[in-house]
Amino acid sequence: MNVLVTGGAGFIGAHLVRKLLSEGCSVSVLDNFSSQIHNDSHAASDLAADVNLFTGDVRDHELVGRALSDQDVVVHLAAETGTGQSMYAVRQYQDVNIGGTSVLLDVLMNQSKLGVQKLLIASSRAVYGEGRYRCPNHGVLYPSERNLDQLRASQFEPLCPVCKAICTPEATGEDSPIHPLSFYGLTKSVQEQMTIMFAKTRGFDAYALRYQNVYGPGQSLSNPYTGILAIFSNVARANSEINIFEDGKESRDFIFVEDAVEATWRCIKTEVHAIELLNVGTGQQTTVMQVAHEIVRFFDSASRIKVTGAFRLGDIRHNFADISKIHQTLGFVPKVSFRDGLNQFLSWASSQDFFSSKYESSLVELRERGLLHG
Known catalytic residues are: 184
> How many CB atoms lie under 10 A from the CB of residue 354?
10
Q: Would you call 356 helix, strand, or coil by DSSP? A: coil
> How many CB atoms lie under 10 A from the CB of residue 192?
21
**What does DSSP assign to residue 172?**
B
**What does DSSP assign to residue 171?**
P
Sign of the torsion formed by the C-alpha atoms of 230, 310, 253 and 299? positive
Contact 132, 143 (CB under 8 A): no
**What does DSSP assign to residue 56?**
S
Main-chain phi, psi angles of 54, to 5 degrees: -115, 110
Quote the CA–CA distance of 311 and 148 in Å, as a whole number: 10
DSSP 278-298: EEES-S--EEHHHHHHHHHHH
Beta bridge partners of 279: 210
Candidates 233, 209, 208; CA nearest to 219 is: 233
What is the number of residues in the chain?
374
Contact 131, 318 (CB under 8 A): yes
Quote the CA–CA distance of 198 and 187 in Å, as a whole number: 17
> How far from chain centre, in Å, is Cα 146?
22
Buried b (16+ CB within 10 A) or exposed e, 142-163: bbebbeeebbeeeebbbbbeee
